[in-house]
């Protein structure tokens, strides 16, 4: 199996606070991995270091054979890492199609004009938004904003897709739609690392889970095994339930 992402001894300190403490794990191409843990455990900090929005204090991040830790976000994106954010970061003054075109124009392939428009519509169709391509981005519902952001990330043709609580805030019907969409990406062999608190989604889509608590990795195992680990139960529920 070919490892796409290898994280070794990853550490991030903010002054006297160690937010991520010597975390190591790897992801094989085609895997969908959950990065879990209670609030404040360091999950999003790890995603921010992978995508270049934070520089590590120590350790390394490699994409394939190339070290990417410490590179600027735009350079990491051009090497094949795309992500979504907890808060959707669309361009509200543009249409839905234009939001995706912007990603294509500045992405790995630098598409413009009619070719970019065709590709944008293809990506919007993948996430179920083709019928709203000419709508204003600011008029979208919450789940459709998330779909648009996912289309923007997919337009970058990523080697690795990072999803940061992409399913957060959805009602049960929207959640089922979101899970099915992630499953469709999994079926296409897209490598995904997702930070998520929705356990139904984790069980449905993740091959394996890496679990953190207080900045440290406390479990790395197939999903059912990781979620049943006493250290994980304690981290989420306290000693009485372990």
Q: pLDDT tens for residues 103-114?
A: 898 878 888 889
What are the φ/ψ torsions at residue 188 (nearest 5 degrees)?
Answer: -85, 0
Residue 87 has pLDDT above 90, yes or no: no
| Residue 35 pLDDT class (50, 70, 90 cuts) | very high
8 A C-beta contact, residue 206 and residue 199 = no
Express each pLDDT in 215-234 by its tens digit: 999 999 999 999 999 999 99
Token pair, residue 121, equals 């519509």
pTM over 0.75: yes
8 A C-beta contact, residue 193 and residue 35 = yes
What does the pLDDT average to over 60-72?
A: 95
Predicted local distance difference test score (pLDDT) of residue 109: 80
Express each pLDDT in 161-202 by its tens digit: 999 998 888 888 889 988 999 999 999 989 999 999 889 899
Q: Beginning with the edge strand found earlier in the chain, give each strand of the sheet holding 216-222 in spatial order.
A: 81-83, 160-164, 191-195, 32-36, 208-213, 216-222
Cα 31 from Cα 242, distance rounded (Å): 29
Closest CA to 39 of 155, 148, 162, 165: 165
Q: List the Cα angle 19/153/114 in 5-degree steps.
A: 155
Cα 35 from Cα 40, distance rounded (Å): 13
């Amino acid at each position: 199996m070919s490892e796409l992402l290898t994280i070794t001894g990853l550490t991030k300190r903010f002054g006297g606070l160690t937010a991520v403490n010597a975390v190591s794990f790897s992801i094989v191409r085609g895997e969908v991995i959950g990065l879990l843990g209670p609030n404040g455990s360091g999950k999003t900090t790890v995603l921010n270091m992978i995508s270049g929005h934070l520089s590590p204090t120590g350790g390394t991040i490699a994409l394939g054979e190339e070290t990417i830790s410490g590179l600027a976000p735009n350079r990491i994106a051009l090497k094949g890492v795309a992500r979504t954010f907890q808060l959707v970061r669309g361009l509200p003054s543009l249409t839905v199609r234009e939001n995706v075109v912007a990603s294509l124009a500045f992405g790995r392939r630098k598409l413009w004009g009619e070719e970019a428009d065709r590709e944008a519509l293809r990506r919007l169709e993948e996430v179920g938004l083709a019928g709203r391509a000419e709508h204003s981005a600011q008029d979208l519902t919450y789940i459709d904003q998330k779909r648009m952001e996912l289309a923007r990330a997919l337009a970058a043709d990523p080697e690795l897709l990072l999803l940061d609580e992409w399913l957060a805030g959805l009602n049960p019907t929207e959640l089922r739609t979101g899970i099915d969409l992630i499953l469709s990406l999994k079926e296409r062999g897209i490598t995904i690392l997702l930070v998520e608190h929705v356990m139904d989604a984790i069980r449905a889509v993740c091959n394996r889970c890496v679990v953190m608590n207080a900045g440290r990795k406390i479990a790395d195992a197939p999903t059912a095994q990781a979620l049943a680990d006493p250290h994980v139960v304690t981290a989420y529920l306290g000693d009485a339930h372990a």
